[in-house]
Structure 1
Amino acid sequence: MTSPNFLLLLLVQTLMIGLRADLPGTWELLVANAGIATMHTAVTRFNTVVLLDRTNIGPTRKMLRPGHCRIDPQDPLLKRDCYAHSALFDPATGLIRPLMILTDTWCSSGQFLPDGTLLQTGGDRDGVKKIRKFIPCEKTSFCDWEELEEVELAQGRWYSTNQILPDGSVIIVGGRATASVEFFPSRHGGGAVNFPFLAEAEDTQMDNLYPYVHLLPNGHLFVFANNRAVLYDYTNNKVLKQYPKLDGGPRNYPSAGSSAMLALRGDHSSATIVVCGGAQFGAFIERNTDTPAHGSCGRIEATELNAVWEMEDMPFGRIMGDMVLLPTGDVLIINGAEAGTQGFEMASQPCLYPLLYRPDEPVGLRFMTLNPGSVPRMYHSTANLLPDGRILIAGSNPHYFYKFEAEFPTELRIEAFSPEYLLAEKANIRPTILELPEKINYGGGFDVVVTTELPVVGIIEVNIASAPFATHSFSQGQRLVKLAVSSAVPDAVGSYRISCMAPPDGRVAPPGYYMVFAVNTGVPSVAKWVKLL
């Protein structure tokens, strides 16, 4: 039966149809049937996208390669499973190639390593201690998941968070009933290290899962769980600072807010963290799908001595929103719902309107409402920045298994949202990168050559963006760094040379592959990949 709240939402959307043409942004359907519902997504340096779901959900709508089946006597539904639960998607062609995953990746975590390998850790059941690797390859080659047999996690990790560190290793933080951290490659003799803050942040409905972890340019971690945050020295396992509590209720899973660290700029010494949205405490315990989400955001200068939260409100209450750093430094908030919590069949009132958060505007003017989509993106949705500047939108399965006859069915469509900077009328100021080194060194200078149709007015920015692992309303390892640049100097007819300075060290930008965007008057180029080392 269709809920009254959903009918009311449809009525409101109908009334808004006439206004949509005036709202920025456009939508396009990339794939009508991806074959799997996507719980986790990550963009590789070959411009492909890893799609990943659970393994113990029964048949998907995508078969594995002939002769390849997963044999698991413990699987509750399929002892011999010939269906794909992961795939590699090429946005340029729409092609989807099945990948073979053996252990359960439900509510797992991930991060790219410096060599471009996607590290994937934990999950449920047989995957809870598992470490997996996906080594991306050229589109004409074949690559698949590798499940490591000789090493495993020291503790089971379900709903944990990964963050790459300045030396290229990865810290794995928390998880359900796991108030500890550990590292890949392993440290401390291969064991986990107790992190009491996570236990202190737990409440009767948890709210400390998928903690928000941001690497600050001072080399320490900003770790947020529930409504609390600390400055964490992971090298010495020491909490250096406790930040003030953030008002407005719990923000982490299952209360479903989101967080991003704003673009690092200037001398890269300061960092600003934003945490937006969340559910009312108690909604998860009571399984109340109609409890309104809150729309408050907290913003804090995490590197300041006496940092305090600055509060502001979004136009909508929102849970399960994804925060995506755009090449310009603005933040897109997309997906989610206006009532309930995270969890299977625990939310209602899909929030179809994306928001643009403009950090440089004053409080009260930072949020812009964008053109709404038409596909509800509820629990287990994802959003990722693509190298061409679009945002890939995938997933939404608020059911334990695949269920297509429901108010909010399992969603197999993949879409792209194009921010206003991709409008056709801005094409003549969109730069194209002609020359860029394949590798850049910390603290070193390098040149970028770009071309535009119209003469350059002002400074062309050169910004580098990481490729995060997106899951459960948080993009693990997401980062945007605005580089120090010179004014664009004419290099040839219609082209310009820009002198750039690479980040000073791995605290500002950990080693690995980054998308490089040239941004002219707020309009980004198509990115090229560079290896920072």
Structure 2
Amino acid sequence: MLNRQLSLLALGLAAATPAVLSQKPGSFEDGGDTLVSAMMLLLGNDEKVYILDKSEGNPAQINGHPAMGAVYDIATRKAQVMDVTSNVFCASGMHLPNGSFITLGGNGAIGPGGNIGSVQAEGGGSGLFDETYQDYDGTRAIRILNPCTGDATGPACEWFDDANVLAMQKHRWYSTAEPLGDGSIAIIGGFTNGGYVNRNYPNLDPAYEGGAAEPTFEFFPSRGEAQVMQFIVDTSGLNAYPHTYTLPSGKLFLQANISSMIWDPDTNSENRLPNMPENIVRVYPASGAVAMLPLTPANNWTPTILFCGGSDMPDYAWGNYSWPYINTWEYPASAKCHRITPEPSDNSSADYEEDDPMLETRTMGQFIALPDGTMMVVNGGLNGTAGYSTQTLITTSYSDMPYGMSLASGPVGTPGIYDPRKPKGQRWSNTGLDASEIPRLYHSSALLLPDASVLIAGSNPNVDVNTSTIFPTTYKAEIFYPSYFSAKTRPTPQGVPKTISYGGDKFDITVPAASYSGAANDAADSAAVMLMRPGFTTHAMNMGQRSMQLNNTYTVNSDGSLTLHVAQAPPNSNIFQPGPALLFVTINGIPSNGTYVIVGNGQIGKQPTAAASTLPANVRLDSVKGTGEGGSSTSNTTSNNSSGASHTGPIIGAVVGAIALVGILGAIFGICLARRRRAALRNSPSSSYPMGAAPNAGGQDNPSMAWNASSLSVNSPYLDQTPAGARSGGQSVEFDPYYQNTPRMSTAHGQR
């Protein structure tokens, strides 16, 4: 325990004394072994990162089968396997208002080589369980995690994963999850079965593709029957993981294929926007780098979305579910960038604007918002697309595939830094940044850490574990240190609250003189208080990622310390949706360590708001200086309004009613049911499938696994989510037929 505390102190997670930096700016360091290939990452709290992988032959085992999940300790850089029972392959995910996380959907039960599970539903049909990898069908699963701190273990810290208790209405693979202003989640689109792109060719059934596409949306918690979204029908084929962002109005901006729109989730009405310029595709498998730019007082917290890279391959080249129709690895990705402000503050018409191009072409590049107000793009390749296959329409033999199953080539090892505050023509730079020697292509990931470094992991363009191919299954993580690590010390803010509300009374943060250097007035002028949400990362996108600067003024004190008078979040929960975040204080472009906070009241529902915070005027002292040994950063931080005027925007009361749903559900169901089901299967080698093990099981009901919501002693809106096909009150409900008339692919990503 003492070693662990010392490790945490070395990372600056305790801010009582100035944090001393020793890392080389712009460098990569060994981040340890993730045990499972990091297809998905999420920051659970200021200590832990959670990792998810698809069902495959990972050497790391848990309960007698290959692991699909792990928890990574940031301080020690050590991972420990976690049990995930349903196949989380290409799922979506999102935070909840209380700091818990959910993942949504995934693939069917898969065994070695990506083959469908060996245990069939009664009467045949699609596989529901694989005896070798022991994974269950994950296509309707809603998995819930309550992140834990310290050395806590046990059911309350595990993934709750049982689609008989908690499930979506529809089977979804490559769907998008986006949080709304009340903390609920919109779940949009996806495949039910498929491979490279979400279409047959020719595309004669754009809505359902013979049963393999899912053009609907639903919500968590449920708001009723899933409904068709016309935009998903119209973007058929290239609409996996549609890019989705909640706007201040409460409507959502969506982009897929080359189309864009603003969608009202309450009325299912659509307002189409101009197409993506030059027919550049940014969704999977083109997989451009896409993110919302920082929300600041200077832009009145108005969202602008930046799209970079991707591919302008002609429509024919994308092929169909099975494989692309060209050798994608020979086709350069795009370097171009475009931005759009979907709801301009001047009420003008929204349109795309060309921005500075990246420094190289890039597919599968991923934007990470940094707390100094810049955006970093990392990972990806110069050519081709995401996905994998054993052939194309041109190269018909796997033995002739030059990069194994990878459909991309030319790994890009050097990150790029985009600064939205700089003039056009000067926004991109990679000066002083090292290059990683690890190819990070399909299924790579990246995530901002609390010390303002970036965790980079994953890469696995293979149907199953393959460590001998040219782009292998990768378990090695790296930590990247941005240029602001050039400083010898960093701010150590004191008095950071645990919750942030939507409007209401300001709060004060003190920055000691020993944690910055130079003139106090200059340091105070440069101060920025940033709320950062790293998001749920998968497939070169961070769902829910946000970067927002809170308005502040300051008082320079006679001892050289700075008191920052900080406004609560704007009084509009659509701008920065309720849930977990990291609060950083940046001085002279150098960020502090992030403090874990909850934005909002910790509950799903309309968030309390109050008037925008009123801030006092700035108070300056000309003769005072900081005493730290800090160096200057190359970052250019925007100064705050020195007049003391506050910007307007909405707010919330910040009493966090911690919802212990996951702990309770995990304790009651998680490990108990998983082990019971696995034991039942191991003890009964027959092909019958025990009820309670999969969302569409057609076997006999097992009374010992019945679920009765009324028996739970917790009052939570999350529990009002009983799936239509789940058992309630011990009663068995027959599930709908699964994958009827679905084309069956033999070689592409996600074969069945």
TM-score (norm 2): 0.63
Select 2:464's aligned residue among 394, 398, 401.
401
Q: Which amino acid aligns with 1:166?
A: G
**8 A contact 2:45–2:596 mirrored in 1:** yes
Give the aligned partner of residue 185 of structure 1. 221
Q: Which runs of 4+ in 1 moved over 3 A?
A: none
Query: Given the alignment of the two structures, is residue 270 of structure 1 paired with residue 302 of structure 2, yes or no?
Result: yes
Q: C-alpha separation between the residues in 2 aligned to 1:402 and 1:268?
A: 47
Report Cα offsets for 1:481-518 as digits up to 9, x if no partner.
Answer: 1111002432x745321111111121111111210000
Partner of residue 676, structure 2: none
Do residues 353 (structure 1) and 389 (structure 2) align? no
The one-letter code matched in structure 1 to 2:142 is I
Larger CA deviation: 353-362 vs 105-114:
353-362
> What is the alpha-carbon distance in structure 1 between the residues aligned to residue 222 and residue 262 of structure 2?
22
SS of the residue 1:298 aligns to? strand
Which letter does structure 2 place at the counterpart of 1:246? P
Partner of residue 246, structure 2:
215
Structure 1 match to 2:36: 36
Q: State the one-letter code of the partner of 1:160.
A: S
Secondary structure at 2:231 match in 1? helix
Question: What does residue range 231-242 of structure 1 map to in structure 2 within 5 Å?
Answer: 231-242=262-273
Corresponding position of 2:343: 303
| Aligned residue type for 1:427 | K
The residue aligned with 1:372 is 435
Alignment correspondent of 1:73: none
Q: Which residue of 2 aligns with 1:325?
A: 369
Paired residues of 1:268 and 1:508 also in contact (CA < 8 A): no
Tell me the equivalent position of 1:286.
Answer: 326
| Cα separation, 1, equivalents of 2:426 and 2:279 | 20
Once the two structures are superposed, what CA deviation does each residue of 1:443-466 show, in whole Å capped at 9, x if it has no partner? 021112222232431231101011
1-structure distance, mates of 2:559, 2:46: 30
How far did residue 46 of structure 1 move?
A: 3.7
Stretch deviating more after TM superposition (344-353 or 389-398): 344-353
Q: 2:501 maps to which residue?
A: 441
SS in 1 for 2:165: coil
Matched, 1:501 2:532: no
Greater strand content: 1
Task: Tell whether the 8 Å contact from 1:41 to 1:382 is kept in structure 2 after alignment.
Answer: yes
Equivalent residues of 1:46, 1:139 under 8 A apart: no
| Displacement after TM superposition at 1:131 (Å) | 0.6
Query: Contact 2:371–2:530 (CA<8 Å) still a contact in 1?
Result: yes
How much does 1:269 deviate?
Answer: 4.6
Kindly indicate whether the alpha-carbon contact (under 8 Å) linking 2:90 and 2:107 is maintained by their aligned counterparts in 1.
yes
Counterpart mapping for 1:20-169 below 5 A: 25-31=26-32, 33-55=33-55, 57-58=56-57, 60-64=58-62, 68-69=63-64, 81=65, 83-125=66-108, 126-142=137-153, 143-148=157-162, 149-169=164-184
Q: SS state of the match for residue 488, structure 2?
A: helix
SS of the aligned residue for 1:199 comes to: helix
Contact kept? 1:382, 1:470, Cα under 8 Å: yes
Matched, 1:174 2:189: yes
CA distance in 2, matches of 1:402, 1:279: 27
Kept after mapping to 1: 8 A contact 2:301/2:548: no
Give the letter for the 1:178 counterpart: E
Segments of structure 1 that go 5 or more residues without pairing to the other structure are 1-22, 70-80
The AA in structure 2 aligned to 1:298 is H
Structure 2's unaligned 5+ residue stretches are 1-23, 109-136, 192-212, 319-323, 389-405, 601-752
Name the counterpart of 1:4. none
Indicate if the aligned counterparts of 1:46 and 1:136 stay in contact, CA closer than 8 A.
no
Give the structure 2 partner of residue 8 of structure 1: none
Structure 2 SS opposite 1:519: strand
Q: Distance in 2 between matches of 1:231 and 1:88?
A: 37
What secondary structure, in the 3-state scheme, does the structure 1 residue paired with 2:373 have?
coil
Matched residues in 2 for 1:474 and 1:119: separation? 16
| Offset of residue 298 of structure 1 | 0.6
Alignment equivalent of 1:415, drawn from 478, 481, 490 = 478
Q: What is the CA–CA distance in structure 2 between the aligned matches of 1:288 and 1:26, rounded to whole Å?
A: 31
For the residue of structure 2 that corresponds to 1:346, the secondary structure is strand
Deviations 1:364-395 (A, max 9, x none): 21110232111110100001010100010000
Alignment correspondent of 1:17 = none
- Is the 8 Å Cα contact of residues 273 and 350 (structure 2) preserved in structure 1? no
Q: Aligned letter for 1:397?
A: N
More off after superposition, 242-251 vs 445-454: 242-251
Q: Is 1:528 the counterpart of 2:599 in the alignment?
A: no
Q: Which amino acid aligns with 1:179?
A: P
**Match runs of 1:466-485 below 5 Å:** 466-485=533-552
Q: Which amino acid aligns with 1:254?
A: P
SS state at 1:197 partner: helix
User: Is the 8 Å Cα contact of residues 440 and 446 (structure 1) preserved in structure 2?
Assistant: no
| Contact 1:166/1:507 (8 A) holds in 2 | yes
C-alpha separation in 1, matches of 2:266 and 2:556: 44
C-alpha deviations, 1:91-121, integer Å up to 9, x for none? Answer: 2112211100000111001001011111110
Q: Is the 8 A contact 2:175 2:240 kept in 1?
A: yes
Mapped to 1, the partners of 2:25 and 2:427 lie a distance apart of: 15
Matched residue SS, 1:247: helix
Quote the offset at 1:219 in angstroms: 1.6
Change (3 A) 1:269 1:418: closer
Amino acid at match of 1:441: S
CA distance in 1, matches of 2:47, 2:555: 28
Q: CA RMSD in A?
A: 1.6
Question: 1:532–1:383: structure 2 CA closer, same or farther, 3 Å change rule?
Answer: same
Q: Does structure 1 residue 362 correspond to structure 2 residue 423?
A: yes
In the TM superposition, what is the alpha-carbon distance from 1:343 to its structure 2 partner?
Answer: 0.7
Question: 1:151: Cα distance to partner?
Answer: 2.8
How many Å separate the matches in 2 of 1:339 and 1:165?
35
Secondary structure at the counterpart of residue 274 of structure 1: strand
State the secondary structure of the residue aligned to 2:361: coil
Deviation per CA, 1:410-434: give whole Å up to 9, x if none: 11100011110111xx234x21122
- After alignment, is 268-277 or 110-119 more displaced? 268-277
Give, in whole Å, the separation in 2 of the partners of 1:440 and 1:300: 29
Letter paired with 1:339: N
CA distance in 1, matches of 2:71, 2:559: 40
Q: In structure 2, the residue corresponding to 1:181 is in which secondary structure?
A: strand
| Residues 148-198 of structure 1: CA deviation (Å, up to 9, x unaligned) | 43231111110011111110111111112111211100002xx21211101
Structure 2 vs 1, CA of residues 393 and 269 (structure 1 numbering), >3 Å: closer, same or farther?
A: closer
Please give the alpha-carbon distance, in whole angstroms, between the structure 2 residues aligned to 1:268 and 1:42. 28
User: Residue 119 of structure 1 aligns to a residue in which SS?
Assistant: strand
2:550 and 2:325 map into 1 onto residues whose CA distance is 46
Checking the alignment, whether the CA contact within 8 Å between 2:554 and 2:562 is kept in structure 1 is no
Q: What letter matches 2:352 in structure 1?
A: W
